[in-house]
Amino acid sequence: NGTSRIGLCVSGQSTCQLSRRLKIYPYLSGQIIMMIGVSDCKKGTRISTIKTRLISIIRFLEKKGVVMVLLTLPPIPILRGEREEEILDYNKFILRLGERPTVRAVNIRHLFKNPDGTNNLDLFERDFGNPLKKQLDLDHWNKRGICKVEEVPRHYLSI
């Protein structure tokens, strides 16, 4: 019904692509929910570079009067733990950004973990692309994963 629609959702963009896109396209809302960094991590971008780009994006949006809810990154099962420590460091960085007056940081990582600490793979798409040429996904959230996250940031938008 559109009551939750607050802006533009673009999937699969890197911080560099998002930065360029924000400067080209007008905003649809003064409030946004943003999770950015998964594509960068998959491409092997250094965490320090991702952080620098995110700060640039935030400063740009702040100048436009945009209020942001930043989501931490969930586990990225397709990476098989290769960048786990770096992702944890990036998530801590995101949580610290929540100290800014225009930013609310929300930790969603735990939503994608089983009680024993393993990744809950039932919340991720298994395959993508052509059904005849199945490619392993384990990156994008499936409907269950989306539903699990969907309710979390809503109350953060009444800033």
48 within domain boundaries: yes
Taking only the tens place, the pLDDT of each residue in 73-88 is: 998 888 877 889 999 9
- Please report whether residue 2 resides in a domain: no
Q: Are 138 and 156 in contact (CB under 8 A)?
A: no
Residue 118 lies in a domain: yes
77 in a domain, yes or no?
yes
pLDDT band for 159, please (50, 70, 90 cuts). Answer: very low
Q: What residue type is assigned to position 156 of the chain?
A: Y
Structural domains of the chain, count: 1
> Which tens digit of pLDDT belongs to each residue from 106-143?
999 999 899 999 989 888 887 766 666 676 667 778 88
Average pLDDT over residues 42-59: 95
The answer to whether residue 34 sits within a structural domain is: yes
**What domain range is 56 assigned to?**
15-157
| Among the listed residues 71, 76, 99, 103, the one whose alpha carbon sits nearest the alpha carbon of residue 87 | 76
DSSP conformation letters of 87-124: HHHHHHHHHHHTTSTTEEEE--GGGGB-TTSSB-GGGB
In a domain, 6, yes or no: no
Evaluate whether residue 43 is within a structural domain: yes
Evaluate if pTM is beyond 0.85.
Answer: no
Of the pLDDT bands very low, low, confident and very high (cuts 50, 70, 90), residue 18 is confident
CATH classification of the domain holding 81: 3.40.50.1110
> Is the distance from CB of 157 to CB of 31 less than 8 angstroms?
yes
Say yes or no to pLDDT of 4 above 50.
Answer: no
Is residue 143 situated within a structural domain? yes
- Rounded CA separation 90/107 (Å): 12
